[in-house]
Structures are given as C-alpha cells and as structure tokens.
Amino acid sequence: MKLSLIFATAISSFFVGATIALGFSDQADALSFSGISTGTWGEPTPGSIDINPNPIYTGVGNNIFTWGDANVCLPSPNPSGCTITGSNKLTFIGNSFSTDINSVFKVGDLAYFNGTVVKGTSVEEVPLNLNVSFSSPVGISQVFDLKLHLVNTPNSVTNSEEENADLVFIDENLSNRTFAFEGNKYTLELTGFNPDVGQISIKALEGGTTKTAIYAKIKSIPEPATVAGLFLLGMYLISSKKLLEKK
Ligand SMILES: [Ca+2]
Ligand SMILES: [Ca+2]
C-alpha cells in the first residue's frame, strides 16, 4: 500500500517534470532567429619567423584584409615588363538572415583572391570578428571569433597550376559560441563553406579569385529541467524494473 503510494507520487512528479521540460523544448524548437551579420578582420598571426620573416598586411578592423608584398616580377609577354597580380585578399560581406533553430543559414559572403607575392611576406592565420545582431525578441548583439588559416604554397614554374594554388581553411571551433535568451542557452555552430556538406577549405589558383560563403546554425543547449526530467524517467524505469524482477 505504502509502496504503491510512493510510486504514484514518483509517477506524477515525473509527468509534471516531463511536461515542463517538453514545454521548454517546444518553445525553443519553435523559436526563429533573424538579424544582421557583419565582420571585421583582426590582427593576423604571421607564423614561424623562418617562413614569414617580413609579414606585410593591411585591413585590421576593416572587412577587406590583404597580405603579402605584391612587388614581385612575374614573367610578362613584354620582355622588359612585369606582371603584378596584387596582394592576397579576403573580403567578407555580412548579410541579413532569418533562420529556425538547427537550420543552416548564411552568415556572410567571402571572396578570396590569391595574389602572387614575395616569399616570406605572408601571414598564416587571421581572425574574423563576426558580429551578429539578433532582431527582437532576442535583441542581443554578440561578436563570435572565428579563425581562418591561410596556406600560401611556394610557387614553382615546374609545378602545375593546381600545385601552386593556395588555400584558406576555416576553423569551426568558435571560442565564444554560447549566448542566452529568456533563460535558455544557445550556441552558434559554424558549418563551413557549404550549406549541404562539411567543407572547411577553399582553393584559388595563383592570380585567381574564389567566391564562397560562410554558413552556421543555431542549436539549443538542453535545459536543466529537461535533464532533470530524463533523470526522473531513468530512476522511475530502474525502480519499476527492479520491482517487476522481485515479483
Ligand atoms: Ca599566392
Ligand atoms: Ca602558391
């Protein structure tokens, strides 16, 4: 008699807990996020002094970043002349967005120009400070720090164009990905350069431009209420199994 009373209480408190948890979960899943993204480049990391003893760059604090000394004389059709491609360049242009939770959306366009530059004047990594301003009701602005790794391969006339091509890799690990709204926590997760498959690098031939975009999605972090509900369910199932076994 006493035992059944305990279980009745346990069951009813489980259902109350589950209802609260489901209530939160439904609300979070139905939430959509809209806003505007912008981005500015941060201070780059040149990398090893042996590789880049004379790093040259412009654009910290702007949305156009250049690196490498473009003053290099490439073979030209005119025997006395030089062809200068210009420095390497990354241009980030943010956009407005509207997305549901767990859906991939575009946070900005990225254009990558692969300049042919003087050896030892490049940089190896540049941070992009991605500022996301969420519209009402979320109404918060947050800067997410993401990093791009710049792979500047040495060029050789005996190489193929593909072998001389350079690359940009995106680091998907944001250092400050979490934000809060109405007591619930969310994360912004980078998904890379492609909305459909996990693509973390882009390539451009020497003197060529590759246009791409950066994609992300917003996920909700499970609430303590949900975790508590699941814990209660687990405890209830274990005790009811034990009770059945005893019978
Ligand atoms: Ca290059
Ligand atoms: Ca190269």
Ligand 2 center from residue 89 Cα (angstroms):
14
Ligand 1 center from residue 229 Cα (angstroms):
56
230 part of a folded domain:
no
Give the pLDDT confidence of 55-100 residue by residue, as tens digits: 999 999 999 999 999 998 877 777 777 788 999 999 999 999 999 9
Dihedral angle over CA of 220, 223, 229, 230, nearest 10: 50
- The total domain count for the chain is 1
183 part of a folded domain:
yes
Number of neighbouring beta carbons within 10 Å of residue 106: 16
Ligand 1 center from residue 81 Cα (angstroms):
20
Given phi > 0 = left and psi -120 to 50 = alpha, else beta, which region is 190?
Answer: beta
Higher confidence at residue 245 or residue 50? 50
240 part of a folded domain:
no
Contacts of 136 (CB under 8 A, 6+ apart): none
- Rounded to 5 degrees, φ, ψ at 35 are 165, -160
- DSSP string for residues in 66-95: EES-----B--SSTT--B----EEEEEEE-
20 part of a folded domain:
no
Beta bridge partners of 36: 96, 133
Which one of the ligands is nearest to 68 CA? 1
Give the pLDDT confidence of 27-66 residue by residue, as tens digits: 555 689 999 999 999 999 999 999 999 999 999 999 999 9
Which one of the ligands is nearest to 164 CA? 2
Strand pairing category for 209-220 and 105-113: antiparallel
Confidence of residue 16 (pLDDT cuts 50, 70, 90): very low
Ligand 2 center from residue 19 Cα (angstroms):
58
Task: State which residues form the domain around 189.
Answer: 33-222
Amino acid letter for position 175: S
17 part of a folded domain:
no
Q: How far apart are CA 116 and CA 154, in angstroms?
A: 10
194 part of a folded domain:
yes
Ligand 1 center from residue 126 Cα (angstroms):
16
Mean of all residue pLDDT scores within the chain: 86
Res 27: pLDDT: 53
185 part of a folded domain:
yes
